[in-house]
Amino acid sequence: MQKDLSNYRKSYEKSELTEEAIKENPLEQFQKWFYELEASEGLDEPNAMTVSTIGLDGFPKSRVVLMKKFTFEGFIFYTNYQSEKGRAIASNPSVCLSFFWPHMERQVIIKGKAEKIAENLSDGYFESRPHGSKLGAIVSDQSEVVPSREYLEGKLMALEQKFDGAEVPRPEYWGGYLVRPISMEFWQGRPNRLHDRIRYSLQEDFDWKIERLAP
């Protein structure tokens, strides 16, 4: 089986990224791009990002999760700490986040260190989730092998009865991670594959070094 994709081509011509126009701080530049993305209304779930970790088996693994907050400290997402992702981060907190916004012909690639956020912050976000999502966090032994879909639905039905009309507490094994960036690259598609790539690198004095990369 084979399929030739060599004719899949597109000319990127929507914008540019220049040193004169960018912010001095990459978190401010990210905020600028994200607000522009929201205003464009051209993408479902603009907060979807790929999280890459180094697994316990030595292989990198990437998956899409939803960013739930960004601040001057970094980027926050939530997951099961006992999942494959959580175990990988516990072993090696070096991760990579990437955002791809095709209708704006942009990417952002972030290298950083992941750390658990404070429990009260995880409590606050968990309380804001819909009732069904709270139950789902308890039902799923994330990344573990299960016998069937019916097995999961049976566990959910039992929990629905248990917590009928009652508040669902956050499991200790579920919570948030903050990824503190040490490198952020902003990629803007340009014609003739001469894309703009601007990289911010965190220095020892906590200033950001700004460099242009060849496409």
The catalytic residues are 193
Paired tokens of 132: 């069904």
Backbone φ and ψ for 143, nearest 5 degrees, come out as: 80, -5
- Nearest Cα to Cα of residue 33 among 73, 77, 80, 70: 70
The distance in angstroms from the start CA to the end CA of the chain is: 32
Distance (Å, rounded) from C-alpha 36 to C-alpha 41?
9
User: What is the amino acid identity at position 184?
Assistant: M
Cβ neighbours of residue 32 closer than 8 Å, sequence gap 6 or more: 23
The residue with tokens 């460099």 is: 211
Distance (Å, rounded) from C-alpha 145 to C-alpha 43?
33
**108 near 49, Cβ under 8 Å?**
no
Distance (Å, rounded) from C-alpha 49 to C-alpha 52?
10
**162 near 182, Cβ under 8 Å?**
no
Distance (Å, rounded) from C-alpha 144 to C-alpha 115?
23
